[in-house]
Amino acid sequence: MSEHKPNLEGKYKWIGTRPERPDGADKVTGRARFGADFNLPGQLIGKVLRSPHAHAEIRSIDTSKAEKLAGVKAVITAKDFPDQANLIVPTGEMQVNMRDITRNIIAREKALYEGHPVAAVAAVSEAVAKQALALIKVDYKVLPHVIDVAEAMKPDAPILHDHLLTEGANPPASKPSNIAKRIEFKKGDAKAGFEQADVVIEKDFTTQAVHQGYIEPHAALASAAEDGQVQVWTTTQGHFQVRGFCARLLGIETSQIRVTPTEIGGGFGGKTVVYLEPLAMRLSQKAGKPVKMTMSREDVFRASGPAPGGNVKVKIGAMKDGRIVAAECIVQMQAGAFPGSPVGPACMCSFACYDIDNVYIEGFDVVSNRPKVAAYRAPGAPISAWAVESTLDMLALQLDMDPIDLRLKNAAKAGTKTAYGVTFNTIGMVETLEAIKHSAHYRTPPKHGYSRGVAAGFWFNIGADSSAASHVGEDGSVTVISGNPDIGGSRASLALMAAEELGVDYNRVRPVIADTASIGFNFVTGGSRVTFATGLAVVNSVRDMIRELKVRAAKIWKIDPEAVIWEGGMAKPAGNQVGTFEPLSLADLAAQAGRTGGPINGHAQLNVTGAGPGFGVHCVDLRVDEDTGCVHIGRYTAAQDVGTAIHPSYVEGQLQGGAVQGIGWALNEEYIYNSKGRLDNPGFLDYRMPVASDLPMIETILVEVPNPQHPYGVRGVGEVPIVPPTAAVGNAISRAIGVRMTDLPMSPPRLSEVIDAARPKKLMAAE
């Protein structure tokens, strides 16, 4: 069941409707071309040699035998890439260092995780390429490794980077460690707040690394010409980022690289960085032929993404009436082999749902011998939310309060100042809590044998750089061009906004995603920014086009452009005093364009600010099989403040998909390492993501509190939905078995262990 009652009923003609997506036919017929579907005549196949060791010094690499193998056209190692300076650049919500990126795409001094690329070859076939990999001799000196965050933070832990001194350490760091960074956020006086509290609850929580789990493995095709120009086709969330990174990594100008984004088979943040692209480009340059590279699923697990795991300590102090007076959160987070975990957002999001006077938050960014983490839907936030929302459930139980009422009592509102310094504008946290409180689900008690959990979640959402263009065709139909890969239906939402703005039929607007040479810069498809920020660029480009259309009508009517208005897809005189003229449609104006000044286009380029933060509240009913530790989800409802739902079906889809990813994170998904530091479950059989039979329908409630800083009130919606599920599920399980769950995932073996350990106590209590 889905609830969507637009609070702006009748205000819009197109926004809030559910038309078919413009790329629908392509995607249901197999015609849509994804990363691995691109080929070029004469292409070679590129393959990567990966480190079998979690941590090893690379003493030498002998590629001579591989180079001599018939059919091998190029072999590369780190020597084929210039070293990079210590330079921080943004990728989505996260930051990366160019010095580290060049070492992540291909190992330089050391291999830092199992699966770390060490060399790559291009050959006439996959079979020859594989043979060539076997002929490359790497002399490794295997080093002691460290996988666990807490272990990696110990003073005697194996050190990954000799240059790494903890940034923000107090006192300043004098010797290298695996702690890349320490951050803190303070508001009020937490110590004094706890002293004043009637109740203080403190608990430790852990989570494991999880993968974004996009179904399409990474794939790239590069073609370098003799004149230095390179073309790339790749599955990415940001082709402009691919261009920017590769220009630096290969030492060529951005203008010499043209990146075309293919259709993208899921990303969730994991396709905001580069892996294969620079290797394929360098191989192509060396071989003089196009080079195609694809990752196997095993490569994807071992060497791309994942999202980090972390250890979180939470302390919450409250008065008897439920008012929270102090809160503390300490997060230690995996960064993978190079610094740069999303510990910042994890800290900032931890208490963002609540208005609390005294807060202390501290975070540690910790490297270990794991693949470098990448963004995953609201990066970092689910980890702190797991801990904070579980602790709040403990507080609700201790105070014997309804968990929604407890949250309502402390909910952030317009004017609430967050611990990270921002004061909220118009937000929908209260409305979202109330939506769950008044939902059919929450008002109905759980079925016999089921128990209920609720949790909330927050995400900032972002704006950033977007460009767009709008063109009127000679028949009056419209093309809208932007530069963000469509990962979940954004073509439809952009076309809806363009149709609304222009006053024309949605089906007369064709949205196109242009390559890096065909539209101005666009930041990644990420941070829930496309419908918001690129949507704004599209709206502005249409407004620019309307301005031009009015000029043309004025010219035809021989009046002042100021005296022309645009209404219902037509140019009209502003009033009778201007003169009497028949309205001119887009088609009329397009037909006369040649005589009135040539083609009619609009453009916009923006650095978009004013992203409206999003809040979600989820409610789950589940049953625990106490014999097997298996959890059955019986009912699930996700409510979220979505600003304005431009295409409600795709908004619901974001809530449903995010919730299910969160359910997987809660119940099954985890990276499992063996004692050698190798990943033991690099496939979908052993890394178990939710399947259809694990789930009920995911009910949604779209709460619409428009973002005042967007012409249509848009808020990003894609990330919030993954934040509440782990704690909602954990709270329901804890209430079901009477033991507080603190470690993810709550998989059958782990849950069985907890249930078995608690059994004697329960029996004694029963006696």
Q: Is 21 in the site for another protein (CB under 8 A)?
A: yes
Cβ nearer to another protein, comparing 20 with 109: 20
Q: Which of 11, 31, 137, 762 binds another protein (CB under 8 A)?
A: 31
Of these, 487, 498, 499, 600, which contacts another protein (CB under 8 A)? 487
CB count, 10 Å around CB of 685? Answer: 7
667 binds another protein, rule: CB under 8 A: no
Residue 28 interacting with another protein (CB under 8 A): yes
DSSP assigned state of 288: T
Cα separation, 239 vs 516, in Å, equals 7
691 binds another protein (CB under 8 A): yes
Task: Figure out which of the listed residues 660, 666, 703, 736 binds another protein, where binding follows CB under 8 A.
Answer: 660
Between 292 and 550, CB nearer to another protein: 292
If one asks whether residue 37 binds another protein (CB under 8 A), the answer comes out as: yes
DSSP at 307: B
User: What is the DSSP-derived secondary structure letter of residue 435?
Assistant: H
- Judged by phi (left if over 0) then psi (alpha if -120 to 50, else beta), residue 380 lies in left
Q: Which of 23, 151, 357, 743 binds another protein (CB under 8 A)?
A: 23
Closest by CA position to 202, among listed 401, 458, 388 = 388
Q: What track of x and - describes contact with another protein for positions 593 through 622 (by CB under 8 A)?
A: ------------------------------
Strand pairing partners for 363?
A: 183, 331
Minimum CB separation of residue 26 from another protein in Å reads: 8
Scanning residues 220 to 259, which ones bind another protein (CB under 8 A)?
Answer: none
Q: From the list 685, 764, 765, 766, which residue makes contact with another protein (rule: CB under 8 A)?
A: 685
Candidate residues 693, 749, 763, 764; the one interacting with another protein per rule CB under 8 A: 693
> What's the closest the beta carbon of residue 572 comes to another protein, in angstroms?
35
Nearer to another protein, 127 or 517 (CB): 127
Q: Confirm or reject binding of residue 634 to another protein (CB under 8 A).
A: no
Residue 41 interacting with another protein (CB under 8 A): no
The CA distance from 239 to 521, in Å, is: 9
Decide if residue 681 touches another protein (CB under 8 A).
no
27 binds another protein (CB under 8 A): yes
- Check binding of 649 to another protein (CB under 8 A): yes
CB 235 within 8 A of CB 268: no
Residues 419-458 contacting another protein, CB under 8 A: none
Q: Round to whole Å and give the CA distance between 716 and 427.
A: 12
Give min distance, CB of 149 to another protein, in A: 26
The H or E element spanning position 183 is strand 179-187
Tallying the residues shown for the chain, one arrives at: 767
Residue 488 lies near another protein (rule: CB under 8 A): yes
Query: Of the candidates 573, 657, 716, 724, which one interacts with another protein according to CB under 8 A?
Result: 657
Question: Could you give the dihedral angle defined by the CA atoms of residues 717, 723, 729 and 732, in that order, rounded to the nearest 10 degrees?
Answer: -100
Nearer of residues 150 and 691 to another protein, judged by Cβ:
691
Span near another protein by CB under 8 A; candidates 14-22, 96-104, 359-367, 475-483: 14-22
Question: C-beta of 164: minimal distance to another protein in Å?
Answer: 34
| Separation of alpha carbons 630 and 750, rounded Å | 10
* Under rule CB under 8 A, residue 29 binds another protein: yes
Q: What sign does the dihedral 377-378-384-390 (CA atoms) show?
A: negative
Binder of another protein out of 6, 71, 158, 266 (CB under 8 A): 266
If residue 196 lies in a helix (H) or strand (E), which one and from where to where?
A: helix 190-196
Q: Measured between alpha carbons, how far is 67 from 137 in angstroms, rounded to an integer? A: 12
How near is the Cβ of 183 to another protein at its closest, in Å? Answer: 31
Interaction between residue 633 and another protein (CB under 8 A): no
**Could you give the angle at the alpha carbon of 443 between the alpha carbons of 440 and 445, nearest 5°?**
110
In 3-state terms, the chain is what percent helix, strand and coil (to 5)? 30, 25, 40
Task: Give φ, ψ of 209 to 5 degrees.
Answer: -60, 140
* Alpha carbon 271 to its chain's center: 9
Any contact of residue 24 with another protein (CB under 8 A)? Answer: yes
Give yes or no for residue 217 binding another protein (CB under 8 A). yes
The verdict on 652 binding another protein (CB under 8 A) reads: yes
- Residue 263 binds to another protein (criterion: CB under 8 A): yes
Interaction between residue 568 and another protein (CB under 8 A): no
- The DSSP symbol for 534 reads I
Binding range to another protein, per CB under 8 A, among 34-42, 56-64, 178-186, 758-766 = 34-42
Q: How many chain residues interact with another protein (CB under 8 A)? A: 57
Candidate list 14, 15, 16, 36; residue touching another protein; CB under 8 A: 36
Residue from 306, 371, 379, 653 in contact with another protein (CB under 8 A): 653
The whole-angstrom separation of Cα 148 and Cα 386 is: 19
650 makes contact with another protein (CB under 8 A): yes
Burial 10-31 (b: 16+ CB within 10 A, else e): eebebbbbebebbbeeeeeeee
User: Shortest Cβ distance from residue 127 to another protein (Å)?
Assistant: 8
Structure tokens at 455: 């949790």
* Residue 18 engages another protein in binding (rule: CB under 8 A): yes
Distance CA 258, CA 237 (A): 15
Provide the minimum distance between the beta carbon of 129 and another protein in the complex, in angstroms, as a whole number.
Answer: 14
Residue 474 burial (CB count, 10 A): 12
Question: What are the residues facing 496 on neighbouring strands?
Answer: none
- Of the CA atoms within 13 Å of residue 441, those in its CB half-sphere come to 30
Quickly tell me which residue has 């939902």 as its tokens: 439
Q: Which is nearer to another protein, 365 or 652 (CB)?
A: 652
**Residue from the set 287, 329, 619, 698 that interacts with another protein by CB under 8 A:** 698
- Per rule CB under 8 A, is residue 92 in the interface with another protein? no
Q: Does residue 33 touch another protein according to CB under 8 A?
A: yes
Query: 637 to each of 361, 427, 713, 727, 746, how far by Cα in Å?
Result: 30, 20, 24, 14, 20
Asked if 447 and 621 count as a contact pair (C-beta separation under 8 A), the reply is yes
- Of 661, 707, 709, 742, the residue at the interface with another protein (CB under 8 A) is 661
Spell out the alpha helix ranges (H) of 444-489: none
Residue in 16, 92, 193, 213 binding another protein, rule: CB under 8 A? 213
Tell me how crowded residue 421 is: count the other CB atoms within 10 A of its CB: 10
CB of 485 to another protein, least distance (A): 10
CA–CA distance, 184 with 347 (Å, rounded to integer): 8
Q: Give me the least distance between CB of 47 and another protein, in Å please.
A: 14
In angstroms, what is the minimal distance from the CB of 721 to another protein? 9
What sign has the CA pseudo-torsion 703, 704, 710, 711? Answer: positive
80 near 261, Cβ under 8 Å?
Answer: no
Cβ(638)–Cβ(700) below 8 Å: yes
Instruction: Give the DSSP letter of residue 533.
Output: I
Q: Which is nearer to another protein, 148 or 694 (CB)?
A: 694
Q: Could you say whether residue 296 binds another protein (CB under 8 A)?
A: yes
CA nearest to 467, candidates 601, 602, 606, 600: 606
Residues of this chain, 42-81, that bind another protein according to CB under 8 A? none
34 binds another protein (CB under 8 A): yes
Q: How far is the CB of 652 from another protein (least distance, A)?
A: 8
Residues that bind another protein (CB under 8 A): 18, 20-21, 23-25, 27-34, 36-37, 212-217, 263-268, 294, 296-297, 487-489, 647, 649-650, 652-653, 656-661, 683-685, 689-695, 697-698
